[in-house]
Amino acid sequence: MKTRIEIVQGDITKQNVDAIANAANTTLLGGGGVDGAIHRAAGPELLDECRTLHGCRTGEAKLTKGYRLPAKYVLHTPGPVWHGGRNGEAELLKSCYVNCLRLASEHGCKTVAFPSISTGVYHFPLDKASAIAIGAIAEYLEAHPEIELVRMVCFDARTKEYYDEALTDWEKNA
Ligand code: AR6
C-alpha cells in the first residue's frame, strides 16, 4: 500500500497526473486558496464549465476537464467547514476523498492528486484531517487496484509533516 500513496510538498496545479482534486465551495464558481490557484492555472474555460454544473453539495464531487492544467480532469469537492467536530465534519471530509476517487475510477484515471481539503480557510484541524484523508484513500486503494497512485500535495512543510505522520500511523496499524 505504501507505494501507492505519495506525500509531497508542492503546487497541485503543476502535477502531471490524470486528475487533481479541488477544495472548492458549494457554488463551484471559484474562490481563494487552492481553488483560486486551480482556476488561474486552468484558464477561464474551467469557470465556464463549472457554471453548467449548478453547484455541488458538501462531501460530494463533480468532474470537469482540466483545460490548461497538465491534469486531464479536475474533481471539484466542497469540504466541510469546521464547526467544532460534532456536525458530521469527519464523515463529510471522508466522503470528499471517496467521492473524488470514485469519479476518478469511473473516468479511467490511474493517478490522482489531492490538496489538503478543508484545512485552509475551512479550519479543519490538521491532525484529524490528515488521519481521515489517509484512512479514506488507503481503504479505497485496497479495494480499487485500477488507481495506481494517489499523491497528497501539501502546500507547506507543516502540512506535509501531518500527512507523513498519518501515513506512518496508518501503516503501523494496517
Ligand atoms: N497547491 C496545493 N495546495 C494548496 C495550493 C496549491 N496551489 N494553494 C493552497 N493550498 P484552502 P479549504 C493549500 O483554504 O480549507 C476557497 O476559497 C492550503 O495551504 O484552499 O478547503 C474555496 O473556494 C491548505 O493547506 O481550502 C472555498 O471557499 C489547503 O490547500 C474554501 O477556500 C486547503 O486550503 C475552501 O477552504
Buried b (16+ CB within 10 A) or exposed e, 67-92: bebebbbbbbbbbbebeeeeeebbeb
Burial of 36 (0-12, 13-18, 19+ CB in 10 A): exposed
pLDDT over 70 (residue 93): yes
Q: What is the pLDDT of residue 14?
A: 98
Would you tell me how many other CB atoms lie within 10 Å of the CB of residue 47? 15
Q: What is the pLDDT of residue 173?
A: 87
How confident is the model over 20-64, as pLDDT tens digits? 999 999 999 999 999 999 999 999 999 999 999 999 999 999 999
Query: CA-CA-CA-CA torsion for 46, 144, 80, 76, nearest 10 degrees?
Result: 0
Which grid coordinates are listed for 83? 464547526
The amino acid occupying position 89 is E
Three-state SS for 57-73 is CCCCCEEEECCCCCCCE
Rounded (10°) angle between helices 44-51 and 33-42? 110
Evaluate if pTM is beyond 0.85.
yes
| Domain 5-173: CATH architecture, name and number where available | 3-Layer(aba) Sandwich (3.40)
Residue-range domain boundaries for the chain: 5-173
Nearest CA to ligand 1 atom 26: 120
pLDDT band at residue 3 under the 50/70/90 scheme: confident
pLDDT over 90 (residue 2): no
DSSP 164: H
Would you tell me how many other CB atoms lie within 10 Å of the CB of residue 56? 19
How confident is the model over 115-174, as pLDDT tens digits? 999 999 999 999 999 999 999 999 999 999 999 999 999 999 999 999 999 999 999 987
Give the E-state strand segments of the chain in sequence order. 5-9, 19-24, 62-65, 73-78, 111-114, 149-154
Q: What is the pLDDT of residue 86?
A: 97
Catalytic residues: 35
Atom of ligand 1 minimally distant from the CA of 117: 21
Ligand 1 centroid, distance to 68 Cα (angstroms): 19
